[in-house]
Amino acid sequence: MNSLGLSKRPQDTRVVVAMSGGVDSSVTAAMLREEGYDVVGITLQLYDHGIALQKKGACCAGQDIYDARQVSDRIGIPHYVLDYEGRFSQDVMEDFADTYLRGETPIPCVRCNQRVKFRDLLNTARDLGADALATGHYVRRFQADGGRAELHRAIDPNRDQSYFLFATTQEQLDFLRFPLGGLTKPETRALAERYALEVAAKPDSQDICFVPNGNYADVVAKLRPGAVEPGDIVHVDGRVLGRHKGVVHYTVGQRKGLGIGGIRGEEEPLYVVRIEPAQRRVVVGPRDALARTAVLVRDLNWLGPDLGPGESLEVEVKLRSAQPLSAATLRLTGPAEARVELHAPQHGVAPGQACVVYDGDRVLGGGWIAGTQA
């Protein structure tokens, strides 16, 4: 049994590594190459290369493709660039725009993992005769008794990316490997220096790769011309407080940038409580109005123990990537639907975000937040 849990010698085991050009995926490739695996690096071109060359600080851009090729040459592995622009545009960018126009808050990185990297790239890896697809994500994979793979949080809580991988299916998880899950970021950078990789000091990408300068509304307006329309900003008590330039500028829980100032005689700050896209309304109110005790989940991807309809399970959930875990009771309400009862009210729960379910460090699954109840 080799270090990837396969019954083959490393030199007889082909591993495709998804190389973004960053330090994490570069170290992943170098580690596996050092162990003697037959490593093939693949970088995905996900959007217009001309624009990419002018965009810094984002993954899969022109400089990143160049960096991935340089690393591959350095460690002596073949490297290929695959044009996935059409798939990425349809499955990630179009979905991003439509989600905002529904008054929801999208997570395009989850869609990219779900519909491009862990579906299309995984199939390409199989076509290349690979035994596994490895990525630089900070998450751990364990082979449980009986051979079923489990997804666990990374050893470093500050780098854990399990929230963004909740949609990974059991079949995909069986084929995937995450060599960095037991490392911290400083340890990864130290390895990059030991391997003499040019990307050792390269900053982490911060932006969504296709959103220049973080201006989501401009991207939505470009993808859906004429769909970004103005409307009213309304208090939960019915008062019209002002006007907005499009619901895409707002997300549930937002406090800053509402464009209405304070209300005379009322010192309590206002937050976006809900978005009503059909009426082109943004509803605001005090923080108490954000409190929610139940979350409705759709498109549930379940990796945990078998549950029948109506069965419940005591779990912890994460409702935004930067939020701590919250105790909850999950009950299946349909084949891929669930109701999550929160043991303590949570604020700023936004439809379109993910509800990811945990048992300790193990990821039991997750789905998209379809609605909430006070």
Residue numbers annotated as active site: 112, 209
Q: How far is CA 316 from the centre of its chain?
A: 19
Q: In what order do the strands lie in the sheet with 79-83?
A: 79-83, 38-45, 14-18, 132-134, 176-177
For residues 136 and 17, give the distance between their C-alpha atoms in angstroms, rounded to a whole number.
8
Question: What dihedral angle (degrees, nearest 10) is formed by the CA atoms of 250, 251, 255, 256?
Answer: -40
Q: Are 165 and 142 in contact (CB under 8 A)?
A: no
Q: How far is CA 342 from the centre of its chain?
A: 23
Q: In what order do the strands lie in the sheet with 240-244?
A: 240-244, 231-235, 281-285, 271-276
For residues 262 and 246, give the distance between their C-alpha atoms in angstroms, rounded to a whole number.
20
For residues 97 and 224, give the distance between their C-alpha atoms in angstroms, rounded to a whole number.
7
DSSP state for residue 185 in the 8-state scheme = H
For residues 291 and 374, give the distance between their C-alpha atoms in angstroms, rounded to a whole number.
6
For residues 19 and 83, give the distance between their C-alpha atoms in angstroms, rounded to a whole number.
14
Tell me how many degrees the CA angle 27-28-30 measures, rounded to the nearest 5: 60
Q: Which amino acid is at 204?
A: D
Q: Are 197 and 19 in contact (CB under 8 A)?
A: no
Tracing tokens 């596996």 back to the chain, one arrives at 32
For residues 77 and 328, give the distance between their C-alpha atoms in angstroms, rounded to a whole number.
46
Which uninterrupted H or E stretch holds 32? helix 23-34
For residues 235 and 285, give the distance between their C-alpha atoms in angstroms, rounded to a whole number.
6
